[in-house]
Amino acid sequence: MTKKMNVAVIFGGRSGEHEVSLVSADFIIKTLDKKKYNVIRIGITKDGQWIAGENSLDLLKSGDILKALKATLTPDTNIKSLVQICNKNYKELRIMSSNTNSHVNCGLQITDKIDVVFPVLHGTYGEDGTIQGLFELADLPYVGSGVLGSAVAMDKITQKNICMAANLPMADWVWLTKKEWHWLKKNKDVFKKWLNSTEKKLGFPIFVKPSNLGSSVGISKVKNRGEFIKAINLAGRFDRRIVVEKGVEDMMEIEVAVLGNGKPEASIPGQIIPSGEFYDYSAKYVDDRSEKIIPAPLPEKIIRQIQNIAVEAFKLLDCAGMARVDFFVEKKSYKIYLSEINTIPGFTSISMYPKLWQASGVSPQKLLDILIRLALERHGEKKQLITSIQMKDEWYK
């Protein structure tokens, strides 16, 4: 029998989507095939403390982390396991490396070697390339996109600029920094000019969004100048850069799940019918009245176009493993607009990502097997790349 793999599932995190992450992690931990995997649970609190142990998910849910075992991952490539941290004094952290027998009271490796990490962290410090950088340093295989793909997909402005350069269809948009906004407000004439020209270019309704956030936090749909100004002020409280986008009206919200590394595949698309005026935080997580229709009622030709754009966007942003690509499709004309790419999509029992693959013939358990295999494949591929060169004397001649 082959040895079971140790999968470290990381959840929670310093993000507005902390709670959603706990529900996603619960589903993933329950679904992982226990004949193949041992699960190592790692929780990150809202203020960024790391905890471990069988009960860490429950402790994070209850907020009762005083009893929790404090542990962390280190960037040292020789460790590859969770290391306990002395609660009383960080400076006392010692690491008992696998090849020394030194006696220490803290900083012990408390798990077997981790074979693969499954970050189930949505939003900031989890989906944005920061924690992926730690896995890279530690030389650990991990599920999902790498540093680059995660970072560019998390930032709406960068994501849009890349997709626009490849002529992928998107709603018209402009962007500005918070500093520019404050400057505009102080210079009445230019301010008016900017508002007039932006309103003319986009036309109401307009969507205003922080560039680097998710779950619709800080997003407003505005229909007049007064609301427009308030919305930019609000978005500026969440990010230094603000997206201002033409509202697509009378449209269907469509989502596609993409799976793979260098040659990814797209699932059948699904439709979201938000309970509110748009798919805001409450419609996503609070009121439970948004509907999901799988497969989305679209003509075959449009489905294929959407799938092609989804795969193209995934590759352009250097995504890996998984991503959910979202679209708006006009009801009458079926005109397609790429909306955004999420590299760690919701993964609860009712989330679109696993549901779309289930409807495409891949069960959630099989999907997790594939994601772990893709993580190992990507890590293996990277290991084979040449990272140092043997200098030869004749090169300098």
Which residues are near ligand ADP by CB under 6 A?
Answer: 171, 207, 209, 214-216, 219, 245-248, 253, 274, 278-279, 326, 328, 339-340
**Residue in 81, 215, 267, 339 annotated catalytic:** 215
215 catalytic per annotation = yes
Structure tokens at 235: 């978005």
Q: Which residue has the CB atom at the shortest distance from ligand ADP?
A: 279
- Residue number, 41 or 122, with CB nearest to ligand ADP: 122
Instruction: Say if residue 105 carries a ligand binding annotation.
Output: no
The whole-angstrom separation of Cα 329 and Cα 296 is 11
Distances (CA, A) of 95 to 76, 99, 184: 10, 11, 53
User: Any residues with CB less than 8 A from the CB of 209 and at least 6 apart, and which?
Assistant: 156, 218, 219, 235, 242, 243, 245
- Taking the complex as a whole, the smallest distance from the CB of residue 204 to ligand ADP amounts, in Å, to 11
- Taking the complex as a whole, the smallest distance from the CB of residue 356 to ligand ADP amounts, in Å, to 16
Q: With the C-alpha atoms ordered 289, 362, 384, 143, is the resulting torsion angle positive or negative? A: positive
376-381-382-384 Cα dihedral, nearest 10 degrees? 130
- Taking the complex as a whole, the smallest distance from the CB of residue 247 to ligand ADP amounts, in Å, to 4
Instruction: Say if residue 280 carries a ligand binding annotation.
Output: no
- Residue number, 246 or 378, with CB nearest to ligand ADP: 246
- Taking the complex as a whole, the smallest distance from the CB of residue 151 to ligand ADP amounts, in Å, to 15
Q: Where are the beta strands (DSSP E) in 153-234?
A: 173-177, 206-210, 220-222
Structure tokens at 363: 């069960």
Instruction: Say if residue 340 carries a ligand binding annotation.
Output: yes
3-state helix, strand, coil in the chain (%, to 5): 35, 20, 40
- Residue number, 71 or 206, with CB nearest to ligand ADP: 206
**Residue in 17, 245, 255, 312 annotated catalytic:** 17
- Residue number, 324 or 378, with CB nearest to ligand ADP: 324
98 catalytic per annotation = no
User: Any residues with CB less than 8 A from the CB of 141 and at least 6 apart, and which?
Assistant: 115, 116, 117, 135, 375, 376, 378, 379, 380
**Residue in 216, 220, 339, 351 annotated catalytic:** 351
- Residue number, 135 or 314, with CB nearest to ligand ADP: 314
Of 209, 208, 295, 304, residue with least CA distance to 255: 295
377 catalytic per annotation = no
Q: Where are the beta strands (DSSP E) in 286-389?
A: 291-293, 321-330, 336-342
- Taking the complex as a whole, the smallest distance from the CB of residue 54 to ligand ADP amounts, in Å, to 33
- Taking the complex as a whole, the smallest distance from the CB of residue 279 to ligand ADP amounts, in Å, to 3
The whole-angstrom separation of Cα 150 and Cα 130 is 8
Q: What are phi and psi of 352, to 5 degrees?
A: -60, -40
Catalytic residue list: 17, 215, 351
Q: What residues are designated binding site?
A: 326, 340, 342
Q: What residues are designated binding site for Mg(2+)?
A: 326, 340, 342
